[in-house]
A = this chain, B = another copy of it.
Amino acid sequence: MVKAEVITIGDEILFGQITDTNTQWISTELTNIGIRTIRKSSVGDDEKAILEILAEAESRADVILITGGLGPTKDDITKKTLCTYFDTELSINEEALAFITAFFEKRGRPMTELNRLQAAVPNNCTYIANRWGTAPGMWFERNGKVFISMPGVPFEMKNLMTHTLLPKLQAFFETPIIYHKMLRTIGIGESFLAERIADWEDNLPPHIKLAYLPNFGQVRLRLTATGTDLEQLKKETQAEVEKVLPLIDVNVFGYDNDEIETVVGRILKERGQTLSTAESCTGGYTSHLITKVSGSSAYFVGGIISYSNEIKIAELGVKPSTLAEFGAVSEQTVVEMAEGVRQRLNSTYGIAASGIAGPDGGTDEKPVGTIWIASAGPDGTVTQKLQLGKFREQNIQYTSVYLLNLLRKQLLGL
């Protein structure tokens, strides 16, 4: 099996000033073309460290993918270091220079000397045109191994990979077939899930592996089948899915790249129904999850973020007496919020959340993490109380996911 190492270069990653999302995306894409990532590494903008990791990676892997260190500024040294590693020199690539010049003309921005130098690449590499930015992609070959250098800007890297480098890698290497099938579960902990499906897991055929991937109240079950015949692998994996489903079916909300927001969106769209939101403690995050899905305007009409009680009353029609008697964080209030937004924005369903996200604002009776959620529809309103932790952002994300799952269960009559 073709083995890959992914290397990110930059002090900003080592020092922790930015989140590296590139390597996750890269290894996912590599997996999908049957290339196995065996290691990921990050080193700083330091020539010695870069030369060392390149040599190590070359000794272990067949393809080495490098991101970062290609910026126009002084602290980016990847190109220079690649020249040292491959014992060659930089020279201006005319195609790159023409593109960069056009890039700046198109945007009506002056081109600096630093930008011009971005058109320089090592003499022994194949220049990979970057139509999304000013840093070039580079492809090196040595002793049947491939080295790829890409800019660290995620959307530039992703476009280079998708349009040029992944097809080029598929053409270069002969790879076995790997087939992944993911079951997305929600509302059951990893160890309870494991206990419930232990017998099934123990009886999986040796070429099908199972992994548990827990994240925010969800656990993804990933089946990975390896072989030579894709159709056969799909059949065998599907057979295993059908064996395990009866054990966990209420918890399975989707497959593969399904997210809870895409699943509920699909159902609403199919039914020609609409959705609105009334958010207090989640402060817009639930609406963001819904609307980051392209095409969500087909079923999402809008929402009201009612951070203050005045707005709960004026915009959602929550009764002052309800707030006085039961408080903003109560089943009664969240029901009136959900039904209020559904009526006010004239949608088929209305969902609402009200709670104490923390870290402050808790009481003995209602500690931080006490959250009520509700989903109102044509056949009535369902509610759920969540007792979460002390971490504000985590509470916001959990609540939005559980709220969308509450809607999913109402939509499906579960």
Chain A positions within 8 Å of B, measured between CB atoms, are: 11-21, 23-31, 37-44, 49, 53, 56, 71-75, 112, 114-115, 153, 155, 180, 182, 190-192, 194-195, 201, 210-215, 220, 222, 224, 277, 279, 282-288, 290-292, 294-297, 300-308, 310-311, 315, 345-346, 358-360, 389, 391-394, 396
Neighbouring B residues of A153 by C-beta, 8 Å: 214
| Known A74-B201, A155-B394; contact A38-B21, beta-carbon cutoff 8 A | no
- Give 23 pairs: A residue, B residue, CB < 8 Å, sorted on A: A12-B222, A15-B224, A16-B23, A16-B30, A20-B20, A39-B41, A39-B42, A71-B212, A71-B214, A73-B194, A73-B212, A114-B191, A155-B391, A279-B284, A283-B300, A285-B288, A285-B292, A288-B288, A297-B307, A300-B307, A302-B311, A304-B304, A305-B305
Is B392 a contact partner of A294 (Cβ separation < 8 A)? Answer: yes
Neighbouring B residues of A18 by C-beta, 8 Å: 24, 213, 215
Neighbouring B residues of A358 by C-beta, 8 Å: 294
Neighbouring B residues of A359 by C-beta, 8 Å: 294
| Known A41-B41, A114-B195; contact A220-B306, beta-carbon cutoff 8 A | no
Neighbouring B residues of A190 by C-beta, 8 Å: 71-73
Query: Given A283-B287, A284-B303, A315-B315, 17 other A-B contacts at CB below 8 A?
Result: A13-B40, A18-B215, A38-B43, A40-B41, A71-B212, A72-B194, A74-B201, A155-B389, A284-B286, A287-B305, A292-B396, A295-B360, A300-B307, A302-B304, A303-B307, A304-B315, A305-B305
Neighbouring B residues of A346 by C-beta, 8 Å: 310
**Across the two chains, which residue of chain B brings its CB closest to A389?**
B155
Neighbouring B residues of A56 by C-beta, 8 Å: 56
| Known A19-B21, A211-B75, A213-B12; contact A39-B43, beta-carbon cutoff 8 A | yes
Closest 8 CB pairs of A and B: A283-B291, A284-B287, A16-B28, A284-B284, A16-B27, A40-B42, A303-B305, A302-B311
Neighbouring B residues of A182 by C-beta, 8 Å: 17
Cα distance A392–B292 when bound, in Å? 7
Is B14 a contact partner of A40 (Cβ separation < 8 A)? Answer: yes
Is B31 a contact partner of A24 (Cβ separation < 8 A)? Answer: no
**How many copies, total?**
2
| Known A304-B304, A307-B297; contact A15-B31, beta-carbon cutoff 8 A | yes
Neighbouring B residues of A115 by C-beta, 8 Å: 191
**Across the two chains, which residue of chain B brings its CB closest to A113?**
B195
What is the minimal beta-carbon distance from A132 to any residue of chain B, in angstroms? Answer: 8
Is B194 a contact partner of A114 (Cβ separation < 8 A)? Answer: yes
**Across the two chains, which residue of chain B brings its CB closest to A178?**
B15
**Across the two chains, which residue of chain B brings its CB closest to A297?**
B307
What is the minimal beta-carbon distance from A203 to any residue of chain B, in angstroms? Answer: 13
What is the minimal beta-carbon distance from A303 to any residue of chain B, in angstroms? Answer: 4
**Across the two chains, which residue of chain B brings its CB closest to A45?**
B211
Neighbouring B residues of A155 by C-beta, 8 Å: 389, 391, 394
Partner of A24, one of B16, B296, B393: B16
Cα distance A284–B392 when bound, in Å? 17
Neighbouring B residues of A283 by C-beta, 8 Å: 287-288, 290-292, 296, 300
Neighbouring B residues of A14 by C-beta, 8 Å: 27, 37-40
Is A38 a contact partner of B27 (Cβ separation < 8 A)? Answer: no
**Across the two chains, which residue of chain B brings its CB closest to A41?**
B41
Cα distance A296–B295 when bound, in Å? 31
Is B304 a contact partner of A291 (Cβ separation < 8 A)? Answer: no
Cα distance A97–B305 when bound, in Å? 44
